[in-house]
Amino acid sequence: MTNNNIILFDMDGTLSEPRQKFHSELLLDFRKIINYSEIGILTGADYSDIQFQLDKIMRFSEVRFHMHLLPCNGTKHYAPPTTAQDYFKLKYENSMPNQLGKACFRELFKILSEQQTEACYHDIALTGHFVNYRGSMINWCPIGRNASKEQRAHFIQYDKKEKFRERLVENIQYKLNLLCPGKTIVTQGGQTSIDIYPTGWDKTYALRHFPEKTCWFVGDACHEGGNDHEIYKHLKKEGRAFQTSSPIETGEIIRNHILPAIMHS
């Protein structure tokens, strides 16, 4: 039996390497968690990315019966199956164009097109699939989501040295504030991209799905400007948020901090 807890995990950098499969050594920790708590996978990515990264767990593991999928910062909620024959079912979703309005939504795409043109003048790869519209948010990757590991690694170093995404976030936010005042938030997403979503639709959005549960969070991008920052800051005040640097450290956080707490709650 599970108690009144749910532990929310970011995906890339927390449960897996960026855009790679779930770190298999964490499965034992997940099996221990479900004796005391539900699990939520809370990511800026869409459902198809979660499905790729958690494929075997979603299809075969007993963990699936206690796991909520919360893509697009929790603006979509897939409830866990209840029988062996069931699969994850979409329980809730929200729409970015409806929230922003048609004019603002179109202006956003104009700005991203301009910024992608500017990115061509920098020492970064250009591989295609730059903009990914996910229904309730937009993910823009200046090098493209088709980039290889080597191209991603080069971009990450370039980004750290030149503060490339930091400057892009400031620029895009400034332009959007002129055109659609107060309607949008722009943050760094993962290690190579930028997320844009309606104001208030950061990862704290997911908390509204679990009003009667005690929520915990583990993520890697908890710094200011990172896409885990808001929920980390919100739950850290109550001692229920943890920053990780890798799936290995996530396992240590589960075993040394979260499990001891929920076992006695």
Query: Are residues 107 and 21 located together in one domain of the fold?
Result: no
Which residue would you say has higher pLDDT here, 98 or 265? 98
Looking at 198, 229, 251, which one is the last position of a domain? 198
Query: Are residues 227 and 111 located together in one domain of the fold?
Result: no
The torsion defined by the Cα of 254, 258, 261 and 265, in degrees rounded to 10, comes to -110
For the question of residue 10 being annotated catalytic, the response is: yes
Instruction: Look up the domain containing 151 and give its range.
Output: 96-198
Looking at 156, 173, 198, which one is the last position of a domain? 198
Query: Are residues 164 and 100 located together in one domain of the fold?
Result: yes
Query: Are residues 20 and 106 located together in one domain of the fold?
Result: no
Is the full-model pTM beyond 0.75?
Answer: yes
Query: Are residues 100 and 73 located together in one domain of the fold?
Result: no
Domain total of the chain: 2
Query: Are residues 88 and 208 located together in one domain of the fold?
Result: yes
Give 124-138 pLDDT, tens digit per residue. 999 999 999 998 999
Residue 52 token pair: 């790729």
Residue 259: the pLDDT is 97
Helix, coil or strand: residue 226: strand
The CATH number for 68's domain is 3.40.50.1000
Choose the weakest-confidence range: 15-19, 40-44, 155-159.
15-19
**pLDDT value at 3 more than 90:** no
Residue 88: the pLDDT is 97
The CATH number for 147's domain is 3.30.1240.20
Catalytic member of 10, 49, 202, 228: 10
Give the separation between CA 97 and CA 228, rounded to whole angstroms: 23
Residue 260: the pLDDT is 96
**pLDDT value at 2 more than 80:** no
Are 136 and 96 in contact by the 8 Å Cβ rule? The answer is yes
Query: Are residues 142 and 111 located together in one domain of the fold?
Result: yes
Confidence band (pLDDT; 50, 70, 90) for 1?
Answer: very low
User: Measuring CA to CA, which residue among 174, 235, 166 is closest to residue 8?
Assistant: 235
User: Measuring CA to CA, which residue among 133, 131, 135 is closest to residue 96?
Assistant: 135
Query: Are residues 39 and 14 located together in one domain of the fold?
Result: yes
DSSP H or E segment with residue 198: strand 193-198
Query: Are residues 18 and 89 located together in one domain of the fold?
Result: yes
Query: Are residues 79 and 28 located together in one domain of the fold?
Result: yes
Give the separation between CA 148 and CA 135, rounded to whole angstroms: 26
Query: Are residues 117 and 181 located together in one domain of the fold?
Result: yes
For the question of residue 12 being annotated catalytic, the response is: yes
Looking at 182, 198, 214, which one is the last position of a domain? 198
Are 8 and 159 in contact by the 8 Å Cβ rule? The answer is no
Residue 56: the pLDDT is 93
Catalytic member of 12, 49, 159, 195: 12
Query: Are residues 188 and 222 located together in one domain of the fold?
Result: no
